């Protein structure tokens, strides 16, 4: 009996400690500011320690184009910047799911255009983020312009402001890639020569239609409209049969809806696309494999490695918390059925 109680205590303590927040880190600002021409932005230089991991929140973008067909870019651009910036081992980027979760508590999850400086500061505080990336997309004739500002959330200081212009929607990914490189330079991350720096197309898909369906699907998932989300992910992989990110969403969506056969078929396709997956996606694919093998030891090993490499990854924390909770429930059930 004592052994059974000890097992429960071990599992409970593991569940408790796996969800604890990592130590807060502070962004270092120089004590010098540079005043430039009156029509330019006052900026503050950011100093990052080369080996420290920093947390940044990417907010939903404002659509200032007046074009309803571009509404999906409000969250689509956010997803793109999250993906490209997440390549750096020195940056921890707030996921869009976590952003929606925080905004839901604030009552602003469905209103990206209403996100102001105060809300951005609250989001940063809730997520322990040291900087916030806010932005918008606008039009100038036939050209699209993406504007971004990197802000220090507590005082609302604009640390850096960047913009890029491109002719038409077909150049949107190139514009995101260019801005990402500028942001990395602004954050003094250009010395990471050993790190990969892939384009958004290499990381995800070169199909804008696939991206559009994927973004709409993520939006449906945030609203817990799972059937509608799965339909959009299906459309995304139809437009690009190598879109790993969409396949992972689709696979999990099928399993959530109880469509195990479709889920397993999608998982088989994922195995063929492992070479295109990011390290974080590989953890998710390998975790799916343990679903079929029922290899508990391997599952725990994968989750521990995932957390070790990406300590702020919300999915990793949710998965390991879910595992320990399941083990706890099974342990309690076992004790109750064997004791009485």
33-42, 56-65, 118-127, 246-255, range with the lowest pLDDT: 33-42
Nearest to 6 by CA among 331, 333, 338: 331
Q: Report the share of the chain in percent with pLDDT over 70.
A: 77
**What is the DSSP code (8-state) at residue 65?**
S
Average pLDDT over the chain reads: 78
Q: Between β-strands 62-63 and 143-152, what pairing exists: parallel, antiparallel or unpaired? A: unpaired
Chain segment 178-226, per-residue pLDDT in tens = 999 888 877 765 444 445 578 888 888 999 999 999 999 998 988 889 9
| CB burial string 305-316: b at 16+ within 10 A, e below | ebbeebebbebb
For residues 2 and 319, which has the higher predicted lDDT (pLDDT)? 319
**Which pLDDT belongs to residue 293?**
80
CATH H-level superfamily of 25-203 = TolB, N-terminal domain (3.40.50.10070)
For residues 297 and 135, which has the higher predicted lDDT (pLDDT)? 135
Domain ranges of the chain: 25-203
Which long-range contacts does 65-73 make (Cβ < 8 Å, 24+ apart)? Answer: 65/137, 65/138, 65/139, 65/144, 66/139, 67/139, 70/137, 70/169, 72/212, 72/215, 72/216, 72/219, 73/137, 73/172, 73/215
**Which pLDDT belongs to residue 43?**
40
Chain segment 226-284, per-residue pLDDT in tens = 999 999 999 999 999 999 999 999 999 999 999 999 999 999 999 999 888 888 888 89
Q: Residue 132: is its pLDDT beyond 80?
A: yes
Could you give the CA distance from residue 208 to residue 76 in angstroms, rounded to a whole number? 10
Nearest to 137 by CA among 72, 75, 71, 65: 65
Could you give the CA distance from residue 166 to residue 225 in angstroms, rounded to a whole number? 34
Q: Residue 129: is its pLDDT beyond 70?
A: yes
């Amino acid at each position: 009996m004592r052994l059974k109680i000890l097992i429960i205590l071990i599992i409970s303590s593991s569940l408790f400690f796996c969800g604890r927040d990592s130590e807060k880190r502070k962004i270092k600002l120089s004590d010098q500011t540079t005043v430039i021409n009156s029509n330019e932005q006052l900026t503050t230089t950011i100093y990052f320690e080369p080996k420290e991991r920093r947390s940044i929140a990417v907010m939903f973008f404002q659509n200032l184009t007046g074009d309803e067909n571009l509404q999906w870019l409000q969250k689509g651009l956010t997803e793109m910047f999250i993906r490209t910036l997440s390549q750096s081992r020195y940056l921890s980027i707030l996921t869009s799911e976590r952003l929606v979760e925080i905004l839901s508590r604030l009552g602003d999850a469905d209103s990206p255009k209403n996100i102001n400086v105060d809300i951005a500061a609250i989001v940063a505080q809730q997520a322990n983020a040291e900087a916030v990336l806010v932005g918008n997309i606008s039009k100038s004739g036939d050209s699209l312009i993406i504007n971004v500002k990197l802000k220090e959330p507590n005082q609302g200081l604009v640390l850096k402001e960047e913009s890029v212009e491109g002719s038409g929607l077909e150049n949107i990914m190139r514009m995101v890639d260019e801005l990402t490189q500028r942001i990395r330079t602004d954050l003094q991350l250009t010395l990471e020569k050993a790190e990969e720096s892939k384009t958004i197309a290499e990381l995800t898909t070169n199909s804008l239609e696939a991206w559009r369906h994927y973004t709409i699907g993520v939006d449906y998932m945030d609203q817990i409209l799972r059937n509608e989300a799965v339909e959009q992910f299906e459309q995304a992989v139809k437009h690009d049969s190598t879109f790993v990110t969409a396949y992972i969403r689709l696979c999990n969506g099928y399993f959530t809806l109880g469509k195990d056969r479709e889920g397993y078929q999608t998982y088989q396709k994922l195995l063929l696309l492992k070479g295109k997956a990011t390290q974080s996606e590989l953890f998710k694919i390998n975790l799916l494999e343990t679903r079929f093998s029922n290899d508990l030891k391997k599952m725990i090993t994968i989750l521990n490695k995932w957390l070790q490499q990406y300590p702020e990854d919300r999915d990793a924390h949710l998965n390991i918390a879910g595992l320990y909770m399941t083990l706890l429930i099974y342990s309690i059930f076992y004790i109750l059925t064997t004791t009485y």
